[in-house]
Amino acid sequence: MSIDTLKGIKVAIVLTDGFEQSEMTEPRRALQEAGAEVFLISPKKDNVRGWTHTQWGDEFAIDKVIENANPDDYHALMLPGGVMNPDSLRINERAIQFISSFVKNKKPIAAICHGPWTLINAEGVKGKEMTSWRSIKVDLINAGALWADKSVIRDGNLVTSRMPDDLPDFNKAMIEMIVDSKS
């Protein structure tokens, strides 16, 4: 992908404390290298803190507090995993409203690991072929998803992936989906 592939595209990454750090930093880097503008959006006001496998990771500055973010300002949405992050977001009414707007407007959504958990509350999984971290498989199936154990699955405007090891496949599929949505 060239630096111009996603020129003019704005991508929202919605997250809070406890996101799996590599599942945010690597997709963000891939999106930026393809020319997208990427914004970290959170219910928190200043910084969010990553999680690196079994311990706290780095802090990252938030670009916009979710209460002040308009989903219409963004072309695509990315949801990193980590257990704490989506578990907190899925009970945050404003976060679910923001994510639901992407679902309703059929905008590109990419979610990895536990990230798809949030899509259950945003009513974005029913009838969708998806993958995720295996511990939320039953949750997704119970919400109507068609779950499969693959490194990455694209179902229309939705890309999902299982874990950090799948990031190369996830990043490629995410960028291709956003490119396809432009045409």
Catalytic residues: 113-114
Q: What amino acid is encoded at 153 in this protein?
A: I
Q: Who contacts 106 (Cβ-Cβ below 8 Å, separation ≥6)?
A: 156, 157
Query: What are phi and psi for residue 17, nearest 5 degrees?
Result: -50, 140
- In order of 13, 45, 71, 112, 150, the CA distances from 64 in angstroms are 10, 8, 12, 22, 33
